[in-house]
Amino acid sequence: MTQSLTIARPDDWHLHLRDGAMLAAVLPETARDFARAIIMPNLVPPVTTGAMATAYRDRILAALSEGMTFEPLMTLYLTEDTDPADVAAAHASGLVKAVKLYPAGATTNSASGVSNFDKVRAVLETMAEIGLPLCVHGEVTDAAIDIFDREAVFIDRVLDPVRRATPGLRVVMEHITTKNGVDYVKAHDKDLGATITTHHFIINRNHILVGGIKPHYYCLPVAKREEHRLALRAAATSGDHRFFLGTDSAPHTDPNKESACGCAGCFTATNTMPLLAHVFEGEGALANLEAFSSRNGPAFYGLPVNDATLTLTKGDAPTQFPAKIDTDDGPVTVFDPGFPVYWSAR
Ligand code: DOR
Ligand code: ZN
């Protein structure tokens, strides 16, 4: 029996589009289902100034094919040299919707990120004044901390002290992967939200490592134990306004993933909405899918919910998603949930 669900058109509050040939190939995968996305600034070199964000936005719009509508919501990459006045001007002009904090060395192209938080104090205070959100990659980089503990330790050592020191700073904990992250968000109602990715609802750390290493399931923050996956699912499917979709869809070519030192990132732009319908249906919470993917994010960012809609349809046969998309840089593998999915999106 065919079942269908029409929701306000979703937005992706954490997306990597890259640049050049990769941008051209992955942009339609997102624009097909999503109206807007918060665009990550970890290019090489990173998008650190308003002028660079303007130029990157123009490249994204130029890569959109005829007939596709999509609004990129730009971010600035926070460095220890970021100028508070440049950030304020980029916000005032409407160009920039958030600033991204990468602890230096935490992930892909994060070398220019922050090591000494005293050096970004003035920027964070300006952001608190003007209401510009900080999107946080929440992992410590201390070599002594086990990779599976890096998010929980970051909350205690970095996030909570920074939030206490900067009252009014609006923070998005990006791609939370732990029950600790869920609990921290739930305990703080004001000025705090969190994005959750598609893949962290579906895989735990066993999926990466049992029966052979699966490079296409490796991302950062790395998937954790099953109890954490279940906590993420419960938080998102509850409809709680503090949790919203940020896919962290992060394309890397197959040679860069299937390597002795493979890159972090799962590419989920192509099939995220059908996968989310599957996840929410499995939790008996299809009625809350719209809140998670289309309403809670705009509410946090103070933007209108999209007028356009997206219809999800459940058919009798499994949906055939492409295994890979082709780019001029090489193939990119589409995230494979490892089970049949009967939903598709239009
Ligand atoms: O898995 C990830 N990939 N996590 C990140 O934080 C960065 C991203 C990327 O840019 O590839
Ligand atoms: Zn990311």
- Ligand with minimal distance to 113 CA: 1
Catalytic residue among 248, 316, 326, 329: 248
Nearest atom in ligand 1 to the alpha carbon of residue 106 is 6
CB 294 near ligand 1, within 6 Å = no
Cα–Cα dist 38/30, whole Å: 12
* Structure token digits, residue 23: 């941008």
CB 136 near ligand 1, within 6 Å = no
DSSP assignment of 296-332: HHHHHHT-PPPSSEEEEEE-SS-----SEE--TT--E
- pLDDT at residue 209 in the model: 98
- Rounded to 5 degrees, what are φ and ψ at 69? -110, 135
Cβ–Cβ < 8 Å for 345, 33 = yes
Strands 324-325 and 71-77 turn out to be unpaired
Residues with C-beta atoms within 5 A of ion ligand 2 = 248
- Ligand with minimal distance to 256 CA: 1
Ligand 1 atom 4: the closest Cα is on which residue?
Answer: 220
Cα–Cα dist 110/42, whole Å: 7
Cα–Cα dist 80/124, whole Å: 11
- The CA 75 to ligand 1 mean position distance, Å, reads 15
pTM for the full model? 0.98
CB 150 near ligand 1, within 6 Å = no
- pLDDT at residue 1 in the model: 63
Q: What is the pLDDT along the chain (346 residues), one digit of tens a residue?
A: 679 999 999 999 999 999 999 999 999 999 999 999 999 999 999 999 999 999 999 999 999 999 999 999 999 999 999 999 999 999 999 999 999 999 998 888 888 999 999 999 999 999 999 999 999 999 999 999 999 999 999 999 999 999 999 999 999 999 999 999 999 999 998 899 999 999 999 999 999 999 999 999 999 999 999 999 999 999 999 999 999 999 999 999 999 999 999 999 999 999 999 999 999 999 999 999 999 999 999 999 999 999 999 999 999 999 999 999 999 999 999 999 999 999 999 8
Nearest atom in ligand 1 to the alpha carbon of residue 252 is 11
**Smallest Cα–Cα separation from 172: which of 148, 138, 141, 203?**
138
- pLDDT at residue 212 in the model: 98
Q: Is 160 a catalytic residue?
A: no
- The CA 2 to ligand 2 mean position distance, Å, reads 35
CB 108 near ligand 1, within 6 Å = yes
Nearest atom in ligand 1 to the alpha carbon of residue 266 is 1
* C-alpha R_g of the chain: 19
Cα–Cα dist 177/205, whole Å: 11
Q: 122 vs 101, 119, 169, CA distance in Å?
A: 14, 7, 12
- The CA 264 to ligand 1 mean position distance, Å, reads 5
Ligand 1 atom 2: the closest Cα is on which residue?
Answer: 265
- Ligand with minimal distance to 138 CA: 1
Ligand 1 atom 7: the closest Cα is on which residue?
Answer: 108
> Phi-psi region for residue 239, left (φ > 0), alpha (ψ -120 to 50) or beta?
left
* Structure token digits, residue 340: 């049949």
CB 265 near ligand 1, within 6 Å = yes
